[in-house]
Structure 1
Amino acid sequence: MRISKRIAATVAAAALTTVAITSCSAGGNGGGGGEVATEDNKPDKLTVAAWMDFPPELLASFEKKYGIKVVVDSFPDGASAQTVLRNGLASGGAGLSDVHLIELDWWTEMMAVPEDWVELPEIPGRWVDWKEKQGSVDGAITGYGTDIGPLGIAYNEEMMAAAGVATDDDSFAQFIGGDAASWKSFLDAGRKYVAASGNYFIDSLSSAFQAAINLMPAAFEDPESGKPYNLADNAEIKDLFMTFADAAEDGISAGIPIGHADWGAGFQNRQWATVVTPAWMTGIIADNAAGIPGWRVSSTFPDGGGNWGGSFFAVPASGKHTGWAVKLADYLTSPDAAVQWFHETGQFPSQVDAIASPDIAETQNEFFGGQKLGQIYGDLAAAAGDAAAGGYRGENFAGIQTLVTDGIRQVESGSATAQQAWDSVVSQFDALGFDTAD
């Protein structure tokens, strides 16, 4: 399987442990007591911890401009990066890089102690408002935004046509529910496709379920207290869980999510016809489905659309070169850098100028049949409205989400019925002993 290092952290199991304790420069000041970058304190190198492929010229251009070499402390996936960061914060900064990439789902946990991080200077107008808000703690910016993850559905046009259910984007949109598309109508379409084709409709319902969770304003925790809701009483989550688990019992999913050893082979074997695809996943699909024609991205998404993923570059306050690290975080998240990220990895920018750039909106993607993915995902993000910001994510969001999505995997694998899987998830949640919200 050809899975690159840019797989987002959201595809890996996140631990339930919480932490106990344009290219204009922002000026390089580390707020909250951070140092100022000067020629006198300029280091020979800076390190940045990440799990993605970097645009080839981006780091080289920083070195050329400032005379500082940038070394990527590379991780195989976001979960590994999360573990190292969690342990480093718990031990006073030991082993941390100068700059860390932090994924949205575990952002709140990493920011549990704001003093662990350098307060970053404001860069007015660079990001969409909600992205800057996500990267702030108590009004102070602690993370400069990279991408956002507008949600789309990748589908194989040739496989749909062979099954007699759709032949182009308009007919596929109608097949999954049109303007009134919902998760129910999408899953019902999956049942029809399976009946007509004898093939799986989707790679993984656990992944689709995770996307559906991201559309909810407060899936697992109370925004006011930060405490988890009692899962047994969380009717909205239970209803959503059973909707997906019932579809899993009906066999519409191959049960092979991104990150699974057989995911790439599934594309090559034409094992499924759709994948829930946030913008950052398009490049990964192109890598894994290389040579398989017919893949497109639909302009329609269930329940109006939303966001999955998106990351931030943040600077640990324990670093030896915080002023220059702030300059690097600024450089890596400029609008020009965002355009480079888009072409390298397919990541959709959070930077306002980059989103408006013809280099994003007008670029045709050869693998996806010449579609202008920047325009499609821009329209999907606009259609999502406030849902694009994602719901509330407290310190335990990532862990609880992993717990419930694992329940869907139980049904996909045939090891449990929908009801058995829900009962198991609730039992595991109860065993954690959370002080739950009233």
Structure 2
Amino acid sequence: MKITTRAGAVIASAALAALALSSCSGGGTGGSNAGEATDENKPDKLTVAAWMDFPPELLASFEDEYGIEVVVDSFPDGASAQTVLRNGLSSGGAGLSDVHLIELDWWTEMMAVPEDWVELPEIPDRWVDWKVTQGSVDGVITGYGTDIGPLGVAYNEEMMAAAGVATDADSFGEFIGGDAASWQSFLDAGREYVATADNYYIDSLSSAFQAAVNLLPDAFEDPESGKPYNMADNAQIEELFMMFAEAAEDGISAGIPIGHADWGAGFQNRQWATVVTPAWMAGIIAENAAGVPGWRVSSTFPDGGGNWGGSFFSVPATGENTAWAVKLADYLTSPEAAVQWFHTTGQFPSQLEAIASPDIAETENEFFGGQRLGQIYGDLAAAAGDAAAGGYRGENFAGIQTLVTDGIRLVESGSATAQEAWDSVVSEFDALGFDTAD
């Protein structure tokens, strides 16, 4: 397997123990104030907890400018970082770093007690508006945005041509539904593809299903009360689940999502022809599919597009160096830093200046046939508009999503029919004993 993992934004993996947490809310309206960063309170070192590679020059330039060494407390994946953060917050800040990277899907859980976090100063006009809203609690900014994940579909032009269904970007866009593309038309295209091809249409329907869930305004929880909806009565999720599960029954998916041990080998073996690909995944595909020609990113996406993933840098209030930690979080999310992140990890920026930068929009990607991915994903983000912010994510969103997504995997693996898998999801949800919304 060859996977550069950005797993916190890949497949939500909150522990089942977190699922059973009753909905709680912190008092007050936000975190504490960090004070002013001065020479008198300047530390020799700052730590930042994250699970991705940092641009080589970024941390060195901060040290050159301020004389403070920055040490990355590195985690193998987002799930590991989430566990350490959860444990630290529940034990008065023990073991926490000065700055933490927090993934969108588990943001609400980590922000359950706003006083655990430092209130961050507003930086006008740096980010797209909805990113600031996502990174705020009761109107108080507690996270500075890093990337966003505008959604695209990566497809292999050579495989599509061999199957006789599409030969270029325009014909592939029409193949999956054109301007009226929906998840149903995307899945029906998969049925047409496997009827003539000798490989699968998509790597994993569980991943595609997760992307579709992200577009719902209130997938699992009531925005008013924060309580989970009763799964047996959640008609929108059942309908979406059955749509994807029935496609899985029809054999259009290899059932191998990113993070699976065989995902990299699947590219090399040409096992599938499409992957639902948020912007941050494009670089991971290029690495894992190295040497396999024909991969491109479509400018057409079901239901008009959306967002998957994105993170924030936040400062725990219990830290000893909160004033300088805020300055570091600011530095790591500047437009200049965002351009560096894009070229290092492929993360698509949430910073307005960076999005408009020719250094991103006009950069040609050799692996994807010279496509300007920055421009393609910028257009996809613009097409999605405010819907890119995604729907309501309560404290139990990540865990419930994992439970439901695992149901799709049951069908992909041949372990259950679509109906049996849905019944299993409902049963497992009921066993958790949530106090559900009326």
| TM score, norm. by length of structure 1 | 0.96
Q: What amino acid is the match of 1:123? A: I
Q: What amino acid is the match of 1:338? A: A
Residue 350 of structure 1 is matched in structure 2 by 350
Distance in 1 separating the partners of 2:436 and 2:231:
9
Most deviating of 193-202 and 203-212: 193-202
Matches within 5 A, 1:58-73: 58-73=58-73
Matches within 5 A, 1:12-411: 12-18=12-18, 32-411=32-411
1:44/1:145 CA distance change after superposition, 3 Å: same
Q: What amino acid is the match of 2:422? A: W
Whether the 8 Å contact between 2:104 and 2:312 is mirrored in structure 1 is yes
Whether the 8 Å contact between 2:264 and 2:288 is mirrored in structure 1 is yes
Residue 3 of structure 1 is matched in structure 2 by 3
Whether the 8 Å contact between 1:10 and 1:105 is mirrored in structure 2 is no
Distance in 1 separating the partners of 2:48 and 2:291:
34
Whether the 8 Å contact between 1:7 and 1:52 is mirrored in structure 2 is no
Most deviating of 30-39 and 186-195: 30-39
Residue 26 of structure 1 is matched in structure 2 by none
Distance in 1 separating the partners of 2:121 and 2:2:
39
Most deviating of 380-389 and 206-215: 380-389
How big is the shift at 1:12?
4.6
Q: Which residues of structure 1 form unaligned runs of 5+? A: 22-29
Deviations 1:296-333 (A, max 9, x none): 00000001110000000000001110011001000000
Deviations 1:188-222 (A, max 9, x none): 11011111112100000000000000010100011
Deviations 1:315-362 (A, max 9, x none): 000111001100100000000000001111111100011111111111
Residue 27 of structure 1 is matched in structure 2 by none
Distance in 1 separating the partners of 2:304 and 2:314:
31
Q: What amino acid is the match of 2:415? A: S
Among all aligned residue pairs of Structure 1 and Structure 2, give the percentage whose two residues are the same amino acid: 85
- Three-state SS of the structure 2 residue aligned to 1:239 is helix
Distance in 2 separating the partners of 1:140 and 1:277:
32
How big is the shift at 1:34?
1.9
How big is the shift at 1:4?
1.5
Q: What amino acid is the match of 1:110? A: M
Distance in 2 separating the partners of 1:49 and 1:119:
19
How big is the shift at 1:33?
3.2
Whether the 8 Å contact between 1:16 and 1:398 is mirrored in structure 2 is no
Distance in 1 separating the partners of 2:4 and 2:237:
32
Distance in 1 separating the partners of 2:266 and 2:229:
37
Whether the 8 Å contact between 2:9 and 2:308 is mirrored in structure 1 is no
Q: What amino acid is the match of 1:65? A: E
- Three-state SS of the structure 2 residue aligned to 1:11 is coil
How big is the shift at 1:17?
3.7
Deviations 1:385-426 (A, max 9, x none): 221011000001001000000000000001111000000000
Whether the 8 Å contact between 1:15 and 1:398 is mirrored in structure 2 is no
Distance in 1 separating the partners of 2:302 and 2:16:
29
How big is the shift at 1:127?
0.5
How big is the shift at 1:11?
2.0
Distance in 1 separating the partners of 2:17 and 2:43:
34
- Three-state SS of the structure 1 residue aligned to 2:399 is helix
Whether the 8 Å contact between 1:9 and 1:77 is mirrored in structure 2 is no
Distance in 2 separating the partners of 1:31 and 1:313:
14
1:146/1:240 CA distance change after superposition, 3 Å: same
Distance in 1 separating the partners of 2:51 and 2:169:
33
Whether the 8 Å contact between 2:7 and 2:79 is mirrored in structure 1 is no
Computed over aligned residues only, the root mean square deviation of the Cα atoms, in angstroms, reads 1.3
Distance in 1 separating the partners of 2:5 and 2:243:
32
Most deviating of 151-160 and 37-46: 37-46
Distance in 1 separating the partners of 2:393 and 2:6:
22
How big is the shift at 1:2?
1.4
Deviations 1:241-284 (A, max 9, x none): 00000000111000000000000000010110000000000111
Distance in 1 separating the partners of 2:362 and 2:379:
13
How big is the shift at 1:69?
0.8
Distance in 1 separating the partners of 2:31 and 2:61:
25
Whether the 8 Å contact between 1:127 and 1:145 is mirrored in structure 2 is yes
Distance in 2 separating the partners of 1:269 and 1:392:
38
Distance in 2 separating the partners of 1:290 and 1:175:
26
Q: Which residues of structure 2 form unaligned runs of 5+? A: 25-29
Distance in 2 separating the partners of 1:68 and 1:2:
34
Q: How many residues align?
A: 430
How big is the shift at 1:31?
6.9
| TM score, norm. by length of structure 2 | 0.96
Distance in 1 separating the partners of 2:222 and 2:419:
25
Q: What amino acid is the match of 1:164? A: G
Whether the 8 Å contact between 2:12 and 2:105 is mirrored in structure 1 is no
How big is the shift at 1:35?
3.2
Residue 27 of structure 2 is matched in structure 1 by none
How big is the shift at 1:6?
3.1
How big is the shift at 1:171?
0.3
Distance in 1 separating the partners of 2:226 and 2:10:
21
